[in-house]
Amino acid sequence: MEVRRTAVVKLDVSDGQRDALHRTAEQYLYCANRTADYCWSDTSYTECKTHQRQVRDALYSDLREETELQAQLVQAAIRRAVEAIRGVVERWKKGQRVSCPTFTAKTMDYDTRSATLYWNKVSLATVEGRVEPSFVLPADSPTPYEQYVLSEDCEFRESTLRYDATTDEFYLNISTRRIDGDGAEVPADTGHPDQTVLGIDLGVNSLAVASTGTFWQGDDYDHWCREFEKRRGEMQQCGTQAAHNALLRLGKREEAWRKQYIHTVANEIVTEAVGHDCDVIVFEDLTDIRERLPQAKWHHVWAFRRLYEYVSYKAPERGVSVKQVEPNHTSQRCSRTDCGFTHDDNRHGKQFECQKCGYEVNADYNAAKNIGLRYARKRIHRLRSSPKSGSGDAPVDVRVNGGTLNGESHRPVAGD
pLDDT at 40 over 90: yes
User: How confident is the model at residue 401, as a pLDDT?
Assistant: 29
The closest of 406, 175, 219, 368 to 283, measured between CA atoms, is 368
Residue 289's pLDDT band, with cuts at 50, 70 and 90, is low
The share of the chain scoring above pLDDT 70, in percent, equals 77
Residue 240 to residues 47, 50, 178, 220, 244: CA-CA distances in angstroms? 50, 48, 50, 31, 6
Q: Report, as an integer, the average pLDDT of 202-209.
A: 80
With 0-12 / 13-18 / 19 or more C-beta atoms within 10 angstroms meaning exposed / middle / buried, residue 137 is middle
What confidence tens digit (pLDDT) does each residue in 10-22 have? 899 999 999 999 9
Number of other residues whose CB lies within 10 A of the CB of residue 281: 29
Q: Report, as an integer, the average pLDDT of 342-363.
A: 87
Which has more confidence, 137 or 272?
Answer: 272
User: How confident is the model at residue 103, as a pLDDT?
Assistant: 92
Residue 407's pLDDT band, with cuts at 50, 70 and 90, is very low
Q: Are 74 and 125 in contact (CB under 8 A)?
A: no
Q: What are phi and psi of 22, to 5 degrees?
A: -65, -45
Residues contacting 240, CB < 8 A, separation 6+: none
- In the chain, residues under CATH classification 3.30.420 are 196-220+248-412
In degrees, rounded to 5, the angle at the alpha carbon of residue 305 between the alpha carbons of residues 141 and 153 is: 35
pLDDT at 391 over 60: no
Residue 108 CA, distance from chain mean position: 19
Q: Report, as an integer, the average pLDDT of 362-371.
A: 88
Most confident of 93-107, 250-264, 365-379: 93-107
List the helix and strand counts (H, then E) for the chain.
Answer: 9, 19
Residue 349's pLDDT band, with cuts at 50, 70 and 90, is confident
Hey, what's the torsion of the CAs at 312, 313, 316, 320, to 10 degrees? -30
User: How confident is the model at residue 200, as a pLDDT?
Assistant: 92
Which has more confidence, 376 or 331?
Answer: 331
Residue 119's pLDDT band, with cuts at 50, 70 and 90, is confident
User: How confident is the model at residue 158, as a pLDDT?
Assistant: 84
Residue 145's pLDDT band, with cuts at 50, 70 and 90, is low
User: How confident is the model at residue 191, as a pLDDT?
Assistant: 46
Number of other residues whose CB lies within 10 A of the CB of residue 151: 15
User: Which amino acid, 253?
Assistant: R
With 0-12 / 13-18 / 19 or more C-beta atoms within 10 angstroms meaning exposed / middle / buried, residue 139 is exposed
> Strands 122-126, 347-348: parallel, antiparallel or unpaired by DSSP?
unpaired
User: How confident is the model at residue 412, as a pLDDT?
Assistant: 28
User: How confident is the model at residue 381, as a pLDDT?
Assistant: 52
User: How confident is the model at residue 389, as a pLDDT?
Assistant: 41
pTM for the model:
0.55
Domain 196-220+248-412 belongs in CATH node 3.30.420: yes
User: Which amino acid, 80?
Assistant: R
What confidence tens digit (pLDDT) does each residue in 71-85 have? 999 999 999 999 999
User: How confident is the model at residue 58, as a pLDDT?
Assistant: 94
- Whether the link from the prior residue into 142 is cis, omega within 30° of 0, is yes
